[in-house]
Amino acid sequence: MQLQQIETYPEELLSCDVKDLHHLFPQPTLMHLSGKNKQPLFVSVLLHGNETTGFFALQNLLNKYAKQTLPRSLSVFFGNTQAAERGLRRLDGQLDYNRMWPGTEALACAETQIAGQVVDIMREKEVFASIDIHNNTGLNPHYACINRLDNRYLQLGNLFSRLVVYFIRPMGVQSAAFTEFCPAVTLECGRPGQQHGVDHAFEYLNDCLHLSELVDHPVHIQDIDLFHSSVQVKIQKNSSFSFTDKKSDLLFDKLLERMNFTEVPAGTCFGLVQDDSAMPLSAIDEHGLDVTDKFFKIDGAQLQIKRKTMPSMLTLDERVIRQDCLCYLMERIALAV
């Protein structure tokens, strides 16, 4: 597997389906298109193969500028086209393409090498800003994530949504790698396959191409809801879980995903357990410490949250829960007036 760099694209890219992209680009591909302002905007799409909104937004953007010069140079990394062909986040045995970037805890492999190359190339080009576009499976609003509390990064995130989430973990995500040398955001555009998600991401990309600079002014506090996502919750490896099978170690409540971006009080039930002595979840904070006991307890057969918190990315998709995580837990950050 080798990184391919291109400066023009095949005509089919303007109309192909996301599943056909792998035929166009069998190798990981970094595309550089020249625009009026030479400092490129960097966009990555399909780091997760089933998260198609970024690809379709980009396709609309390429169509818009097919016969006119881009306002700013644009570099695009097409991520896991192989998984996209199959409609999956990643293939079994593949490294998660949003955990392979410099800073990752994964062992060096072909994927981490390619991610490192992309970062080096874009740093060399003095990239203007970086945008990585994702979807999620649960009921979530559109929001932007940043990995540094800096005015320019907040401005870039706030341009997409009033909801901005700050996190430093998981490690090895694309935006964290780019954060070291340019303003970087991850966009969460709701579920895949929604036209308003594609439209929103397209408008945002177009706006970013027209930005002459990112100002270092504070964001107006009335325009932003800023949260710190500090805890990742996973299912313990040896625990079974389900939304329907009452014999599982942990039976989740189907209303779970309605809690996303909602403050839930202490005592809220996440599900029912078979064995009240075996905690089926593990909560890890941003320093890698196990904080399960601070956040969860078993009361009778109920698995309860122990303190007021705000979950995000809760989903009913069992494969995603097993491959990635159950959810993140957040708290609000108050910006100075």
Q: CA 82, CA 24: separation in Å to the nearest integer?
A: 11
For Zn ion, the closer of residues 204 and 296 by Cβ is 204
For Zn ion, the closer of residues 48 and 200 by Cβ is 48
Residue window 22-61: x/- pattern of binding to Zn ion, with contact defined by CB under 5 A:
--------------------------x--x----------
* Least gap, CB of 290 to Zn ion (angstroms): 25
Judged by CB under 5 A, the residue of 22, 90, 134, 142 near Zn ion is: 134
* Least gap, CB of 104 to Zn ion (angstroms): 15
For Zn ion, the closer of residues 46 and 305 by Cβ is 46
Q: How many residues of this chain interact with Zn ion, rule: CB under 5 A?
A: 3
155: which 2 tokens? Answer: 């401005």
Report the first-to-last Cα separation within the chain, whole angstroms. 50
Which range of residues in 8-16, 126-134, 175-183, 209-217 is near Zn ion by CB under 5 A?
126-134
Q: Which amino acid is at 220?
A: H
Q: 145's torsion region: left (phi>0), alpha (psi -120 to 50) or beta?
A: beta
| Residue of closest CB approach to Zn ion | 134
Q: Residues 171, 152, 136, 16: what is their CA dihedral angle, to the nearest 10 degrees? A: -110
- Report cis status (omega within 30 of 0) of the bond before 40: no
Q: Are strands 225-235 and 327-332 parallel, antiparallel or unpaired?
A: antiparallel
Which range of residues in 32-40, 105-113, 127-135, 299-307 is near Zn ion by CB under 5 A?
127-135
CA 297 to chain centre: 29
* Least gap, CB of 222 to Zn ion (angstroms): 30
Q: CA 26, CA 75: separation in Å to the nearest integer?
A: 18
* Least gap, CB of 246 to Zn ion (angstroms): 31
For Zn ion, the closer of residues 48 and 99 by Cβ is 48
Interacting residues with Zn ion (CB under 5 A): 48, 51, 134
